Structure 1
Amino acid sequence: MSNYKLIYFNVRGRAELSRLILSCANVPFEDYRIEHSDWPAIKQDMPFKQIPVLQVDGVNLLAQSNTIARYLARQHQLAGQNEWEQSQADMFIDCVYDLHAGMRPVAREKDPEKQQEIFDKVNEEMIQPHAKKIEEILIKNGSGFLVGNALTWADIAYYAYFTTPMMDRLGGQVLESHPHLKKLIQHVGDIPTIKKYIETRPVTSR
């Protein structure tokens, strides 16, 4: 088995999906978290002067958050059971990327009341329509999962999105009209290896 070191800041952010994939697969890894003050010292050593970066076996470096997560999902049987399922999972990952992008205006706002107002607008215009579509997909698929009949990194990605500190703070009711999606999020969070990671990960504001 490969030796993994995942390098990122001490927040969930763009590394959390990879952390969750590794935890789900019960694969040991070094969760190497740095402070922003430490970043200049290692920036030049990173492939594109950005993080997260996955170091494999102490030598090979892989950059770009979704590329890292996709690699780990494929290595540990969480990418889909065939090429079609893998492509479907990739599709959902791209959807989650769009959802995260839609939250940027919320994250940039510092005033609590205005932040809630912006979130409510994003929720109405983007999150709720998408969640409704995902609900329909889950009902049609019938397995409780987004792709095929088993857990994939797509399911884990939706869990990561709907359980961020910001979502917990601003969007407690976003899944109330989407019971199948809500059940999926709860299922992923109850996976013993993921639950263990969540209980022991550093508490961060984002």
Structure 2
Amino acid sequence: MTKREREDTPTHKLLYFDFPGKAEAIRLALTHADVAFEDHRFADRAEFQALKASGRLQFGQVPALEVESNGKTVVLTQSAAILRYVAKLNDSANLYPADPLLAARVDAVCDLEADAFVGVRVSKYKERFGFGFLNEDKYAGELAGVAEALNKDVVPRHLTNLAKVLEAGKTGWLAGTPEPSIADFVWGPVLDSINNGWTGDANALTAFPSLRTFHARFREIPSVKAYYYA
């Protein structure tokens, strides 16, 4: 590689906290696409707050991806946008379809994840959504009722829809793509979190054998397996 080619090759630095969260899909997709990146994990929340105060984050949020090329640095935000960017870095990885209809199906499955867990996120990260007052003891009963409704009705309803899409696609991948797409990388880590009790019901996938099969298959993708076990 010549000096000019090295200068033109973007470098990537992913900024997030030291846990999976919204960044895990991006970490895995970058790995799958064989894109070198620095996985920067904040030492503490103060480091994030300083970065936020600096104005470098477009919406004051992470994950963020610093892309440096030709002496210029661009900071990308919003995880779905970052994933689509990553998918375009290596066409051979086939993470995002060129066909507009299939791409729309991939986007829909990604968007379903946001719909499925917005209630979980609001109830767990109350301050972030302006509901910090719900941490007061007097609201404990209401919060318990919310958690019960989410795990009894809301989350299963969305998982049912996801399972239907998966089964209709007949490829074993969530959006019916012939190979794993960014939709699979969005949902794979979320299913890990569900099994770890994130929603409050570690057995939530018991009623969805096709999703359990997908999850096991996702974990066996060579790049994903290498990321976790190499």
TM-score range, shorter chain: 0.7 to 0.9
Instruction: Specify the alignment match of 1:161 in structure 2.
Output: 190
Query: How do residues 98-113 of structure 1 correspond to structure 2 at under 5 angstroms?
Result: 98-108=115-125
Report how far residue 105 of structure 1 moved: 4.4
CA offsets 1:76-114 (integer angstroms, 9 cap, x no match): 330124111111111111110112312124424889x97
TM-score w.r.t. the length of structure 1 is: 0.83
Instruction: Specify the alignment match of 2:206 in structure 1.
Output: 176
Select which of 33, 50, 62 maps to 2:61.
50
Alpha-carbon distance between aligned partners in 2 of 1:27 and 1:49, rounded to the nearest angstrom: 25
Instruction: Specify the alignment match of 1:136 in structure 2.
Output: 164
RMSD, matched Cα: 2.6
Matched, 1:80 2:97: yes
TM-score w.r.t. the length of structure 2 is: 0.75
Name the aligned partner's letter for residue 156 of structure 1: F
Matched, 1:194 2:224: yes
Residue 76 of structure 2 aligns to a residue whose secondary structure is strand
Alpha-carbon distance between aligned partners in 2 of 1:140 and 1:124, rounded to the nearest angstrom: 25
Report how far residue 193 of structure 1 moved: 1.6
Q: 8 Å contact 1:105–1:118 — kept in the other structure?
A: no
Name the aligned partner's letter for residue 133 of structure 1: N
Matched, 1:19 2:27: yes
Instruction: Specify the alignment match of 1:41 in structure 2.
Output: 50
Unaligned stretches of 5+ residues in structure 2: 1-8, 127-134
Matched, 1:7 2:37: no
Name the aligned partner's letter for residue 65 of structure 2: L
Residue 122 of structure 1 aligns to a residue whose secondary structure is helix
Report how far residue 129 of structure 1 moved: 1.5
Instruction: Specify the alignment match of 2:4 in structure 1.
Output: none
Could you say which structure has the greater relative contact order, defined with CA pairs below 8 angstroms and 6 or more residues apart?
1
Residue 150 of structure 1 aligns to a residue whose secondary structure is coil
Bigger Rg, which one: 2
